[in-house]
Structure 1
Amino acid sequence: MGLVKRIGNEIIFVRAVLRSLKRLKEIGRDTTHTFSDTIEALAEEKPDNIAIYFEDRKLTYREYNAEANRYARWAKGQGLGRGSVVALMMENRPEYLIAWLGIIKAGATAALINTNLIKGPLAHSLNISTANHVVLGAELAEHYFSAADQLERPMTVWATGGAIRDAQDLDAALAQQSSERLPADLRKDVTQDDDALFIYTSGTTGNPKAARIPHVRLRSMMGAFSAGANATEKDRMYVVLPLYHSAGGVCAVGTTLTVGGSVILQRKFSATHFWDDIVKYKATLFQYIGELCRYLLNTEKHPKERKHKIRLAVGNGLRPEIWTAFQKRFRIPRILEFYGATEGNVGLMNFDGTPGAIGRIPGWAKAKFNVEIVKFDIENEQPLRGPDGFCMRAAPGEAGEAIGKIIDDPKRPTGRFDGYAKKEETEKKILRDVFEKGDVWFRTGDLLRQDKLGYFYFVDRIGDTFRWKGENVATSEVAEAISVFPGVKEANVYGVHVPGADGRAGMASIVAENGKLDLEKFRAQMLKELPEYAVPVFLRIQPEIEVTGTFKHRKVELVKEGFDPSVISEPIFFNCPVQKKYVPVDQHLYGRICAGEIRL
């Protein structure tokens, strides 16, 4: 990196951090101010600014606030307030943002339920929410009733957007409520430490956990993104990510709704209609997840894909192998990649747009941040400790677990770790006696590395990285190599158990164009791009890859099914060390591999 560019990046970093610190200082100053107060102030100061665009509808800040007031009065009428929880199940639309704003206006907590869940996982999410009332969009009635018989307590169902059997009519109840300004003492006992939201983890490896989002954390997350994007009331943020998750429902909407700007909501992501919407609504910002960018790159050229007003794309998971191609093809002036978790206290932002980096903390600024990377034992999935019993910092370029020091300081709200609704889940994420006796750190569960210039790079999720032939295999790095091979649309990499073999053998589930892959060229390319131990031992060709609502690849079922052709109907191939090519796995070959007749 040239000297001029390095100086420019330092200036960008300093300016962005100063904006963020100023915003966080404002948040820490008033312990009673909540997001409700922010919207109420904007409804007074900028009443005619458009808060929400949705299809052919527009809601001004005056209207957004007024409709939320109806919800708050309804909640109070049900005896709900501080300490109460209301579950919210609804697809993306303005009523979603109105509902949870109204609930927190009343001092209660909104539990944002994943709209993709059914049966047991849905019942689990509702059970741990402690809610006795659920606001249910009519479009999700079938989902809810698939889980109703597994609920631990009876729930009062309030239907909106259509009639639902055995449910109260919420729309009628809201119509009876006043939209006028709420009494000043309505939430007089609510502080920033009270919970505003429960947001659930994605559940890629088990049942979701309900992460606590107190008012101070909600405002900190929104403020950090608004400052990072340098957002103003002239900005319009396009949101296709689900509102039940923090990426779309907090970070994206908070970027503009905290400064009087607009959010443009869509029910779901559509690669076909993406650029039409961006141009139609004159979006200046959009929030991405890495796979969303990959889907857009895989579509045919769109006549409007470069005729937009986008000044910044903000998100996470944009992989290095498609970063530059994505930015260049769609004429994106600036990309703001970030790293963080809904419940975590480690937050990073790549302010200068260095491709592939998820954030940066230069050495001279290290003392201002609570982030460290520690050496990690892949097999035991625990940080390594030295002879003195303390953890050891990873060297520059070395992968290790990212951890964040837990700080209970109103002036540094980002250092908090508020945990989950269930206390036992909270304790699992805490690491104690890390560098000195008595210190307490949050475990991200992610392997990162940091270079000498301070840039952080994502390596893998702990549990995804596996050992094979005595080496650590990072699934994300293998997936990157596979994804750029011609004809590959998506790749999901994981480790599978092979009887008698140490560690786990690499396997890749691949979505290929027309369901076909040139296996000879693919193998040659993998041997060229990857160490031999990282080249997938097994391949599985699938028509599509199962993802969560936030486009994260699900691996649990794939790992369970392994490479057994008796339970998998799709083609499976084995990288045969004898024939030196990928060969089809049938029941006979599967038996030979499991019996140890073929050395891996």
Structure 2
Amino acid sequence: MAASSALVGATALTAAAAYVNAKYHIASDLALAPLSPTHRSVVKFIETRAKEQRLFTFHIFEEQARNHGDRLFLIFEGKSWTYKQFYDRIIKAANWLLNDLNVQKDEVVAIYGVNTPEYILLWMALECIGGAPSFLNCNLTGHGLLHCVKLCGTRYVLYDSESYRNINTCAKDFDDIKVTLHLYGPQLIDSLKIMAPVPKERQIPGSLNDIRGLLYTSGTTGLPKATRVTVQRELMTGYIMARYLKLKPGERMFTCLPLYHGTGHGLCVTPSIHGGSTIVLSRKFSHKTFWPEVRESKATILQYVGELCRYLVNAPPSPLDCQNSVKMAWGNGMRPDVWEPFRQRFGIETINELYAATDSLGKSSLNANRGEFSRYAVGVRGLIFKLMAGSGVKRIKIDMDTQEIIKDEAGRPVVVGVNEPGEEIYRMDTSTPLQEVYHQNKEAMEKRLLRDAFKRGDVWYRSGDLLRQDKDGRVYFVDRLGDTFRWRSENVSTNEVSDIVGTFSQIDESNVVGVEVPKADGRCGLAAVVLKPGVTADKVDFRGLAQHCLTQLPRYAVPGFIRVTKLIEYTGTFKIQKGKIRREGIDPAKVTGDDVMYWLPYEGDTYIPFRNEDYEALKTGKARI
């Protein structure tokens, strides 16, 4: 009887523990706690590295090469290198930078090229000699490229042959500002012979806040801003992400994401080095080569960002779709309408979704999703998170027309409620000097700060993103500020509308923006759409499209305008370019190319052609939308 009672008691206790865990997400919070930059294990790691004066990612690579040199580091286009083989080439490149280019300690040197082994090699070689790489977007040309080169203050731009055409647009301008161009590639690296040790004093930073590199924002709203990659940020990000992903020898992470961006840089390369695992590097994204490279390399982790997964889902099905070794897709920006189709079609167990940004001060949210509960979320926050960090994270109301913060009678930001979208902000530690995010741009930094928000002297960092959290602690990305508009006195998310429009059977891709309409307040939705292969505008079921939207969206969120286009433009990091569509708006005289416009008149049930006379009718108030 006693044993039976004990068994019943144990069963009850187990059930109670399971209930508490499910309700308050105890296990999830505990698993993520050691990933906090302030966790004792992370602090101890940084302190130990500082005492040893080995604070660079290069030092981690050097230790991997010395202790486990035969482990596979890199696979690229049928070739591979062990840690020791790659390390020897790094040392040769470091000597070239020292002897031929006379690169000084802490000097910024720009790298401008596509994904290649030489790109990583020069990055590590610059670290080896105490230099700081400036990772330029190799899609930039002209004024944008010149702006970034001037901003980082480099004497040199190291470029590859594939980038020559772009960089040549600024050749004369570079001469004027005394910037020297150097071509790099396999031939250069193969020709280098000197293996002399690099002086150790070159590898000792002045402080943890020294710049170890510059990464750039995407520049979707203007010229790119350079974000500072400090000694501490670089080392800590690689260490934390390697722990989170449980990277170890034998794991192979495939990436086709550009190494000039923070995602490829800090979520693939540096964590892989910390974990002693293998990078499978693709030159760039291509429908044709993506899955063959993944399968041939036996990659176990696949990195994604933005709309890359939508491209893959939209490609014609293949009997080889599930013939891969991938167990995890890791990245950010997976849209809800792609999430499950991607997982099921390619047989991937875990969608590991991250919320972060190049200029996010290291703030992030993580969700290793394997089931229904956390599907589509960027994170799950439970009781422990609320007790330990919750007071330092808030979501505040934003006026969608003015993009201004909504404040109460006392002048304080209004905090949103459950399931209500709001801009996420993070309290900054004012006991120490505030960390500079942007390089030589104090004005941009100040715009991200919210001072004296809830009490005198407090400082909060604005994410620029709208998120919402439901009653179960699930956190969802809603939109970037500027990508949400207000119509009929209601807030509309461009991403959420785009997801619905994009599921219509005749549409391949959609890009939704808010546009001004004559004689109307706010902004009305316009969806630029690319049609499925073989579908032309005259074959589209516009009544069916209207009903598709009207049955799944509130009337105010249904796009008032459809723009049929041949191509949706993306940045080099697969972020949709909205600026051109938004600027051209609905004025037929401004719509460029062969694009065709349609609209849904007031109380209409089908999209019809939108002509000059319709635009004039809107301007005079004779027609309504």
Report the TM-score when normalising by structure 2: 0.89
User: In the alignment, does 2:579 pair up with 1:560?
Assistant: no
Q: Does 1:363 align with 2:383?
A: yes
Conserved 8 A contact 1:52-1:58 = yes
Which of 571, 596, 600 aligns to 2:621? It is: 596
Matches within 5 A, 1:456-475: 456-475=475-494
1:573 aligns with 2:598: yes
1:186 is displaced (CA, Å) by: 2.3
Name which of 251, 256, 281 aligns with 1:240: 256
- 2:319 maps to what in 1? 303
Q: In the alignment, what sits opposite 1:166?
A: none
Query: For residues 505-533 of structure 1, what are the alpha-carbon distances to aligned partners after superposition, in whole Å with 9 as ceiling and x for unaligned?
Result: 11010111124431101101111111111
Instruction: Give the deviation of 1:540 after TM superposition.
Output: 0.4
Q: 1:205 to 1:329 in 2, by over 3 A?
A: same
For the residue of structure 2 that corresponds to 1:459, the secondary structure is strand
Cross-structure match for 1:115: 138
Aligned length: 588
Q: Tell me the residue number matched to 1:165.
A: none
Q: Structure 2 counterpart of 1:25, which letter? A: V
- CA distance, structure 1, for counterparts of residue 208 and residue 319 of structure 2: 47
Partner of 2:85, secondary structure, is helix
Q: What displacement does 1:180 show?
A: 4.5
| Cα distance in 2 between the residues matched to 1:454 and 1:9 | 8
- Distance in 1 (alpha carbons) for counterparts of 2:619 and 2:56: 59
How big is the shift at 1:487? Answer: 2.0
**Alignment partner, residue 349 of structure 1:** 366
Q: Would you say the 8 A contact 2:252–2:299 is kept in 1?
A: yes
User: How big is each residue's C-alpha offset from its partner over 1:67-126, in whole Å with a ceiling of 9 and x where there is no partner?
Assistant: 222232233333423331111101111001111111122212111111111111111111
Indicate how the Cα distance of structure 1 residues 95 and 462 shifts in structure 2: closer, same or farther if over 3 A, else same. same
Identity across matched positions, percent: 31
* Residue 44 (1) aligns with residue 66 (2): yes
Amino acid paired to 1:160 = Y
1:476 match: 495
Task: State the distance in 2 between where 1:456 and 1:182 align.
Answer: 47
Take 2:489 and 2:324, find their aligned partners in 1: how far apart are those partners? Answer: 50
Specify whether residues 309 and 176 from structure 1 end up closer, same or farther in structure 2 by C-alpha distance, changes over 3 A only. closer
Post-superposition offset of 1:335: 1.3
Cα shift readout 1:371-402 (whole Å, capped 9, x = no counterpart): 22122222221222222222232211111101
- Who is 2:510 aligned against? 491
For residues 570 and 272 of structure 1, the distance between their equivalents in structure 2, rounded to whole angstroms, comes to 28
Residue 147 and residue 138 in structure 1: after superposition, are their counterparts in 2 closer, same or farther (change >3 A)?
Answer: same
Query: C-alpha separation between the residues in 1 aligned to 2:213 and 2:200?
Result: 22
Aligned Cα RMSD in Å?
Answer: 2.4
Q: CA, structure 1 residues 387+71, in 2 after alignment: closer, same or farther (shift >3 Å)? A: farther
Larger C-alpha radius of gyration, 1 or 2? Answer: 2
Residues 404-483 of structure 1: matches in 2 within 5 Å? 404-407=426-429, 418-483=437-502
Of the structure 1 ranges 384-393 and 432-441, higher mean CA displacement relative to structure 2 is found in: 384-393
Question: What is the correspondence of 1:48-127 to structure 2 with a 5 Å cutoff?
Answer: 48-77=70-99, 78-127=101-150
Q: 1:135 to 1:190 in 2, by over 3 A?
A: farther
- Alignment check: 8 A CA contact 2:511 2:527 kept: yes
Shift of the 4–276 alpha-carbon distance from structure 1 to 2, 3 Å rule, reads farther
**Mapped pair 1:543 → 2:583:** no
CA distance in 2, matches of 1:330, 1:554: 28
CA 1:177–1:195: 2 relative to 1, 3 Å: farther
More displaced stretch, 79-88 vs 314-323: 79-88
SS in 2 for 1:383: coil
1:315-354 counterparts in 2 under 5 A?
A: 315-345=331-361, 346-353=363-370, 354=374
**What residue identity is the alignment partner of 1:171?**
L
How far the C-alpha of 1:325 sits from its partner, in A, is 1.8
Instruction: Pick from 241, 247, 262 the counterpart of residue 231 of structure 1.
Output: 247
TM-score by length of 1: 0.93
Deviations 1:222-262 (A, max 9, x none): 22322221111111000111111011122122232211111
**2:556 maps to what in 1?**
533
Q: Which residue of 1 aligns with 2:6?
A: none
Residue among 9, 24, 37 paired with 2:42? 24
Q: How far 1:148 sits from its partner (Å)?
A: 3.1
**Cα deviations by residue, 1:283-341 (Å, 9 ceiling, x for unpaired):** 01011114111111111222332122212111111111221221112111111101001
Aligned residue in 2 for 1:512: 531
For structure 1, which runs of at least 5 residues remain unmatched after alignment?
163-169
Q: Deviations over 1:10-50 (max 9, x none)?
A: 42442243366466334432334121111111111111111
Q: Distance in 2 between matches of 1:367 and 1:160?
A: 52
| SS of 1:388 mapped into structure 2 | coil
Q: Which moved more, 1:418-427 or 1:567-576?
A: 418-427
Counting only pairs closer than 5 Å after superposition, residues 57-206 of structure 1 correspond to structure 2 as 57-77=79-99, 78-151=101-174, 153-161=177-185, 171=188, 175-176=191-192, 178-206=194-222
Superposition map of 1:364-403 within 5 A: 364-369=384-389, 370-403=392-425
- The 1:393–1:7 alpha-carbon spacing in structure 2 relative to 1, beyond 3 Å, is closer
**2-side partners of 1:53 and 1:409: how far apart?**
45
Q: Give how far 1:56 is off.
A: 1.9
> Is the CA contact (8 Å cut-off) linking 1:82 and 1:190 kept in structure 2?
no
Any conservation in 1 of the 2:24–2:383 contact (CA below 8 Å)? Answer: no
C-alpha distance in structure 2 between counterparts of 1:409 and 1:546, whole Å: 44
SS of the equivalent of 2:543 reads: helix
